[in-house]
Structure 1
């Protein structure tokens, strides 16, 4: 009764399994006999009786705890759990993990195309061209629509007048009839105005000058006002050349703009190219000279040289660029490109700035940046007509691969 009362009072008893049911019964009887003083003498040596008694009491308590936890009377026989696996035998083989499927490859970026990137320019012209097509005939309003469309696209007044005068003559002669034929003829005229020299650099076979001196290092100079994307353009050109197998070295010739050399160093690291830089405020011509000499000694084939674009000090800038050109063209170097970098979003305003550089160096072509960010795509036509320079490369986005060769036909088709 004492054991059962204690059992009822203890709600936190832990259930245990008793392996041998006989010990439960025997242990309970032995405890009862000892409590009454009537138990027979044990045959076990005295030193072991006390130990056995303690063990029996603990077993009895555990049995009682088990019975209470399972809501059954003391002495109830608990079935022995089934024998576990033979731990002396070999361990079971570990389960084979299911193979995880390989992660799917990320989708490839869509190719850079004029049509996909020149939506702003195409959208600006769409309204005017839609009115021309919907009119069903060629009349005075047709010419007004075309003139306004070309002017707003920044084609320029001179180029617009030249194109429309040619089309009027062809309409009068009966060569062009109907609005759709007129637009087709307009596209052909624009392509004809833009189809000029393409590609960059000169053939490597011309590396030796007539004087027989080794001129194995091509030098490309990048000129333009600050803020047009000159350094970024240089980095993208470096990536293009590296991809095509050229060994490129970058020259940080803009020693006056804060962090210009650091920006170019980031591009050098990005495209895995060598770089030569000087001290801030130092002589940029010395940087270009060191770059050409290093390229010749290390086997670099092309030096891409950044330059300053400080229009607030125009006289000094012009003299500086002239000196850079002279130094870069000395053996073993030869200047094969002088690329004028223009920002397409500045439109006609950029043309006046560009003329400053034409007075300083022999510009070979134009790189037009941010063409995807403007509705005034006609600036390409204005550059060709006003500056007499071919547009060689255009920027159609911010990615490293978004600088592409200019394609007159693809460009005109994209904005119509």
Structure 2
């Protein structure tokens, strides 16, 4: 065999190997699970709105009062929060940057520091571990549960879904559709059943079938509805007694809801002791700075962010990557 033939054969083998790798890595729904979302692209609206304004501000070549006023307006418009914005800018000014470019680096560091060292990994210690997901209607709660299940499957875990939203018949159907798409089991009941009883049955099923994580969907309660919130508390208590503890209570918050998200989070935390936030629809808003406000004002870690509609578009929240993505256009 000539050297030319050997080269052609080697190239053909390489192409086949690459194609096989791509096919093997594809999920059930045809999405390539080997590719992580490019965060800067998924945060395009925030990046364009905030980054575009900051690019103009930092490109001005000056550090006068107008510079600081415009910087304050840009951060507030991104929903970082009035108080947080004022304190962040004060800390940047205290370091006496020599020019806009140095101020940009200080700003980036200060935004990252706002997230602190709160624990962001899922706390999963039970057998099975129990994760309850709460939130108001329209936040993307149910779809986030399915995406969380897909994430756990990719991590080598075996999640079971519990459909404890029995107030809407469509809720169970929606969750079952997603469960089939992801390839996980689900326990559900008829419309109107006791949600806490369904959650308990799901826990018993998870334990009997050898699943290591139970993820429980709950009704999309309005944070202002006292009776519904108390029923949510009952689910947490029932599962806490059955499992010894509830490992996580995750609150799904729609990033497009802005500062109203803080009101929701406070109420849910008072009733069920939220342990972390799933910030959804970040790809659809220019106000991604709400992540800063949530962590700062509520001392709750954002654990996952939703950056698209695909099964694998729920990703762990990494503050440095998030800030870098928001400010990429500066």
Q: Same fold (TM over 0.5)?
A: yes
- Call closer, same or farther: CA 1:284–1:200 in 2, change over 3 Å: farther
Q: TM-score, normalised by structure 2?
A: 0.86
Aligned partner of 1:189 in structure 2 is 110
- Call closer, same or farther: CA 1:283–1:187 in 2, change over 3 Å: same
**Residues 347-377 of structure 1: CA distance to partner in whole angstroms, max 9, x if unpaired?**
1122222222112111010000110111111
Among candidates 123, 131, 134, match of residue 59 of structure 2: 134
**Residues 270-300 of structure 1: CA distance to partner in whole angstroms, max 9, x if unpaired?**
2222211122111100001111111111111
Q: SS where residue 226 of structure 1 aligns?
A: coil
Among candidates 70, 79, 86, match of residue 145 of structure 1: 70
Structure 1 residue 114, shift from structure 2 partner: 1.4
Structure 1 residue 312, shift from structure 2 partner: 7.7
Structure 1 residue 119, shift from structure 2 partner: 1.5
5 Å-filtered alignment, 1:12-31, equals: none
Distance across 2 between alignment mates of 1:334 and 1:366 = 19
Aligned partner of 2:313 in structure 1 is 402
Distance across 2 between alignment mates of 1:117 and 1:415 = 10
Is contact 1:276-1:291 (8 Å) kept? yes
Distance across 2 between alignment mates of 1:290 and 1:396 = 32
Distance across 2 between alignment mates of 1:387 and 1:138 = 33
Structure 1 residue 168, shift from structure 2 partner: 2.1
4+ aligned runs moved over 6 Å, structure 1: none
Is contact 2:203-2:239 (8 Å) kept? yes
Q: Which has the higher contact order (CA 8 A, sep 6+)?
A: 2
Which has more radius of gyration?
1
5 Å-filtered alignment, 1:7-406, equals: 105=19, 111-171=36-96, 176-202=97-123, 204=125, 207=126, 216-311=127-222, 314-332=225-243, 334-406=245-317
Distance across 1 between alignment mates of 2:233 and 2:58 = 51
- Call closer, same or farther: CA 1:299–1:134 in 2, change over 3 Å: closer
**Residues 294-347 of structure 1: CA distance to partner in whole angstroms, max 9, x if unpaired?**
111111111100011232871112211111011111234531110000011111
Structure 1 residue 250, shift from structure 2 partner: 0.8
Worse-matched range after superposition: 348-357 or 292-301? 348-357
Aligned partner of 2:12 in structure 1 is none
- Count of matched residue positions in the alignment of Structure 1 and Structure 2: 301
Structure 1 residue 150, shift from structure 2 partner: 0.3
Worse-matched range after superposition: 370-379 or 106-115? 106-115
Structure 1 residue 195, shift from structure 2 partner: 3.6
Structure 1 residue 203, shift from structure 2 partner: 5.2
Q: SS where residue 59 of structure 2 aligns?
A: helix
Q: SS where residue 98 of structure 2 aligns?
A: coil
Distance across 1 between alignment mates of 2:264 and 2:63 = 39
- Call closer, same or farther: CA 1:130–1:297 in 2, change over 3 Å: closer
Distance across 2 between alignment mates of 1:249 and 1:279 = 18
- Call closer, same or farther: CA 1:122–1:297 in 2, change over 3 Å: same
Distance across 1 between alignment mates of 2:234 and 2:38 = 39
Q: TM-score, normalised by structure 1?
A: 0.69
Distance across 2 between alignment mates of 1:188 and 1:414 = 13
Is contact 2:63-2:100 (8 Å) kept? yes
Distance across 1 between alignment mates of 2:223 and 2:291 = 26
Structure 1 residue 132, shift from structure 2 partner: 2.7
Q: SS where residue 401 of structure 1 aligns?
A: coil
Is contact 1:118-1:414 (8 Å) kept? yes
- Call closer, same or farther: CA 1:200–1:287 in 2, change over 3 Å: farther
Is contact 1:296-1:332 (8 Å) kept? no
- Call closer, same or farther: CA 1:332–1:141 in 2, change over 3 Å: closer
Unaligned runs of 5+ in 1: 1-101, 208-215
Distance across 2 between alignment mates of 1:338 and 1:126 = 33
